């Protein structure tokens, strides 16, 4: 077990208000010369007197990588001054000018141009100006000027200003006393505007977010980005919520060679709807001190349980019920890994336990803190026999409940061989666990008799597993390859009565094909499932000859037990295992073309002849932008049922003993380019179990030209535990090369249709949604 720690990632550029450049500039009609200190003057006629040359006709002057063309040019070779009239063209790296006349200092790249048109080659910026003054060093000052990135005589958007300053070195432009016109119609005035003229990170205003929701009314947020250094940046976000007040948010990010992280915060004083101050703070860090020692940390805190319900437009955040605060230190070397974890949670889901069964709190979204948890993993490098040890110490704490020290050691002996066409491995281990329970006086609903009148519980469980598998492959006449991979595992886990052990970190995992071969049907350590079982499974793949793409993959497996299972998790609503084995688990993944993908997993209970779990998704995408996504999922006994009670503004939910919720949802997502300029998109999540919409979204994107686009989306979604809805409208107006105004529609559209996490049933929300890509 070799290990080293690395810190990866980069400080990504914040989206500039020139996140998209404008229309490409037509190549100037004159060529750009190679840089040279020599002066070259070409003309139909020319005369020279006292280092002053006068040229007429088709005149071209080249020097220092600049070109000047005009019908008349007077050039002083000693001073480097060139005067042109009767219509000139001036071209230097990054900018092209035409003007009635001009006076240029060729050596220091300064000068004045009258009645000019200009093009900024780097970002498509272009416009007209009464005068253009070249200040040197790539800086220009324009008076009575306009600016746009749109091509053609009629500009979709045009910024007219008393004065515009462009600085190619800093990559910024500034406009003073300016008016924005959209197809010739004035839409707003600003005394000052700062905008980028390249695609680098810049300090300045980011795209404002404009929207409206039924929960907060009209919303406007104007982020200001500060590019502190190449490895530091910050963002300040004032946000106006019409029905709530003024919120101030911010973010600071840092990046070093082996460390990166960020701080985020929001503060809303005196929320008019909520009646109190509201805040959020978040910190995260990942790094390493050397190749063997790494650290991770994160911390999140909000002022109240309804913070995300009221102030977030992100559906994933509105269903958040736990905020983690954790720090993990890892030391790793060949064959050894040692981790120390301190972990706490802020629980946002207020569940009242009126039942005398104290185990219900294990499913109330109120997890135990671990302060600390220390874990040691050791494995010898020898082969085929290897010796190992897993050891762990955890201090569990929770307010108003029983606490415990848990100490576990698991010595292991492993053997394995892999010959390509077949493999075999086995493992023998012995788990020794000791619980030291405490805090009975702080747990009013917990008595010593609940744990067998003993505050020390020990457990010793032997375990043995042996697995083998074959790998067959055959090639058809047309080059297609089919594999057949049968797999078999025998697992023995000794039985010990664990009913007196409180639930600190255990749950029931979703059952899928690979999970059939796990050494414990539970997650966590408080329950070690007894087993005397044989697992049989088979996988087959079909591989295309030319692309090497796996066109189809099929899995089928089941656990068969030789004795009745006796270890259970109280009130878990456990599905997947009967008395003598597991459900059948089948999985199919299809990719018949590069554009079509389909996946399904089915968990079938042969004893009751019913499907306990089913997940299916299909996606069709074309190169032209069409996309259709369909998804379905069903979980039987998904989690303990809760009753939600609303008393005024207070929402409470209570576990209903012995009752469980099922989850059944569908999702449909579409994206279609109606024309070359218009895309429509939509998403619909529906709960079949509750007969209600979970989320409905519809929107479109209109791109009539290369210099502007508009996006609008309407969204209605479940926003609270009581099933109440919120409605929001998001609007984005993009002026390529200048900025964008409104929420980023893509930010809440581009999610996964379904993310199949292997997690316990203690899920965070009764409205978990199928997410849409």
Sequential DSSP letters for 573-592: ---SEETTEEPEEEEEEEEE
pLDDT on residue 758: 33
Is the Cβ–Cβ distance between 327 and 372 less than 8 Å? no
pLDDT on residue 445: 64
pLDDT on residue 771: 26
What burial class does residue 498 get, using C-beta atoms within 10 Å of its C-beta: 0-12 exposed, 13-18 middle, 19+ buried? buried
| Residue 67, both tokens | 């070109």
Question: Which residue from 386, 442, 446 is spatially nearest to 416, judged by alpha carbons?
Answer: 386
| Alpha-carbon distances, residue 492 vs 305, 531, 563 (angstroms) | 45, 5, 11
Beta strand pairing call for 650-673 and 351-352: parallel
H or E element at residue 317: helix 315-318
- How distant is the alpha carbon of residue 745 from its chain centre? 14
Cis ω on the peptide bond leading into residue 384 (within 30° of 0)? Answer: yes
pLDDT on residue 752: 41
| CA-CA-CA-CA torsion sign (706, 712, 717, 720) | positive
Is the Cβ–Cβ distance between 601 and 585 less than 8 Å? yes
pLDDT on residue 707: 83
pLDDT on residue 319: 57
| Alpha-carbon distances, residue 84 vs 39, 97, 105, 117, 293 (angstroms) | 16, 13, 12, 15, 68
Is the Cβ–Cβ distance between 744 and 710 less than 8 Å? no
Radius of gyration of the CA atoms of the chain, in A: 34
- Hey, which bits of 494-624 come out as E strands? 507-508, 522-523, 531-543, 550-561, 577-578, 581-582, 584-593, 596-605, 610-621
What burial class does residue 597 get, using C-beta atoms within 10 Å of its C-beta: 0-12 exposed, 13-18 middle, 19+ buried? middle
Cα–Cα distance for residue pair 252/235, rounded to 1 Å = 7
Beta strand pairing call for 577-578 and 522-523: unpaired
Give the chain's residues under pLDDT 50: 1-19, 315-316, 351-363, 740-773
H or E element at residue 745: helix 745-749
| CA-CA-CA-CA torsion sign (148, 149, 155, 157) | negative
pLDDT on residue 363: 45
pLDDT on residue 572: 67
H or E element at residue 746: helix 745-749
Q: Give me the phi and psi of 722, to 5 degrees please.
A: -85, 5
Q: Which residues pair with 217 in a beta bridge?
A: 213
């Amino acid at each position: 077990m070799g290990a080293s720690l690395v810190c990866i990632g980069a400080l990504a550029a914040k989206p500039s208000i020139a996140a998209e450049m404008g229309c490409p500039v037509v190549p100037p009609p004159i060529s750009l010369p190679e840089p040279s200190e020599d002066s070259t003057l070409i003309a139909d006629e020319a005369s020279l007197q006292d280092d002053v040359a006068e040229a007429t006709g088709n005149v071209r002057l080249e020097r220092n990588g600049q070109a000047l063309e005009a019908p008349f040019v007077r050039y002083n070779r000693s001073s480097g001054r060139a005067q042109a009239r009767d219509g000139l063209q001036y071209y230097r790296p990054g900018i092209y000018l035409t003007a009635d006349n001009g006076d240029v200092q060729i050596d220091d790249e300064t000068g004045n141009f009258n009645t000019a048109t200009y093009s900024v080659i780097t970002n498509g910026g272009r416009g007209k100006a009464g005068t253009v003054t070249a200040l040197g060093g790539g800086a220009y000052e324009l008076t009575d000027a306009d600016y746009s990135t749109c091509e053609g005589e009629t500009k979709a958007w045009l910024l007219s200003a008393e004065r515009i300053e462009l600085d190619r070195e800093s990559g910024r432009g500034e406009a003073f006393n300016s008016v924005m016109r959209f197809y010739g119609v004035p839409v707003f005035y600003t005394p000052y505007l700062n905008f980028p003229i390249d695609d680098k990170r810049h300090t300045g205003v980011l795209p404002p977010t404009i929207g409206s929701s039924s929960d907060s009314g009209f919303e406007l947020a104007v982020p200001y980005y500060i590019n502190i250094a190449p490895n530091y940046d910050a963002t300040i976000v004032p946000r106006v919520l019409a029905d709530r007040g003024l919120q101030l948010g911010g973010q600071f990010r840092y990046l070093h060679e082996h460390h990166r992280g960020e701080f985020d915060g929001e503060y809303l004083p005196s929320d008019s709807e909520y009646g109190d101050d509201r805040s959020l703070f978040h910190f995260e860090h990942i790094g390493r001190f050397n190749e063997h020692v790494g650290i991770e940390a994160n911390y999140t805190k909000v002022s109240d349980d309804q913070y995300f319900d009221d102030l977030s437009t992100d559906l994933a955040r509105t269903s958040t019920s736990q905020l983690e605060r954790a720090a993990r230190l890892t030391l790793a070397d060949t064959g050894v890994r040692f981790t120390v974890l301190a972990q706490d949670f802020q629980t946002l889901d207020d569940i009242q336990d009126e039942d005398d069964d104290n185990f219900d709190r294990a499913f109330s979204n109120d997890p135990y803190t671990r302060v600390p948890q220390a874990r040691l993993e050791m494995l010898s490098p020898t082969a085929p026999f290897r010796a190992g040890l897993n050891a762990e110490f955890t201090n569990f704490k929770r307010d108003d409940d029983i606490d415990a020290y848990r100490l576990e050691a698991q010595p292991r002996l492993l053997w394995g061989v892999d010959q390509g066409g077949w493999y075999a491995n086995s493992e023998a281990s012995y788990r020794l666990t000791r619980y030291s329970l405490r805090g009975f006086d702080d747990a009013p609903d917990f008595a010593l008799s609940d744990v067998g009148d003993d505050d020390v519980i020990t457990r010793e469980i032997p375990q043995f597993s042996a697995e083998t598998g074959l790998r067959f492959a055959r090639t058809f006449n047309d080059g297609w390859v089919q594999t057949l991979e049968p797999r078999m595992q025998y697992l023995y886990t000794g039985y010990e009565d664990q009913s007196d052990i409180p639930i600190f970190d255990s749950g029931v995992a979703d059952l899928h094909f690979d999970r059939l071969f796990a050494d414990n049907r539970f997650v966590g350590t408080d329950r070690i499932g007894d087993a005397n079982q044989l697992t049989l499974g088979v996988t087959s793949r079909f591989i295309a000859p030319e692309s090497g793409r796996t066109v189809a993959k099929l899995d089928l497996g089941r656990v068969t037990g030789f004795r009745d299972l006796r270890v259970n998790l109280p009130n878990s609503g456990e599905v997947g295992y009967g008395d003598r084995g597991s459900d059948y688990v089948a999985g199919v993944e299809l990719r018949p073309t590069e554009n079509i993908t389909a996946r399904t997993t089915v968990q079938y209970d042969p004893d009751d002849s019913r499907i306990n779990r089913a997940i299916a998704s299909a996606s069709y995408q074309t190169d032209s932008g069409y996309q259709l996504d369909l998804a379905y999922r069903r979980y039987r006994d998904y989690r303990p049922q809760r009753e939600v009670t609303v008393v005024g503004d207070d929402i409470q939910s209570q576990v209903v003993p012995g009752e469980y919720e099922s989850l059944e949802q569908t999702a449909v997502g579409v994206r279609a380019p109606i024309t070359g300029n218009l895309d429509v998109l939509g998403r619909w999540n529906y709960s079949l179990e509750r007969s209600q919409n979970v989320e409905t979204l519809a929107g479109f994107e209109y791109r009539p030209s290369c210099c502007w686009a508009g996006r609008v989306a309407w969204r209605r979604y479940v926003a609270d535990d009581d099933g109440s809805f919120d409605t929001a409208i998001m609007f984005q107006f993009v002026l390529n090369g200048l900025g964008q105004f409104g929420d980023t529609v893509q930010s809440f559209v581009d999610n996964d249709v379904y993310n199949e996490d292997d997690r316990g049933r203690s899920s965070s929300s009764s409205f978990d949604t199928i997410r849409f890509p």
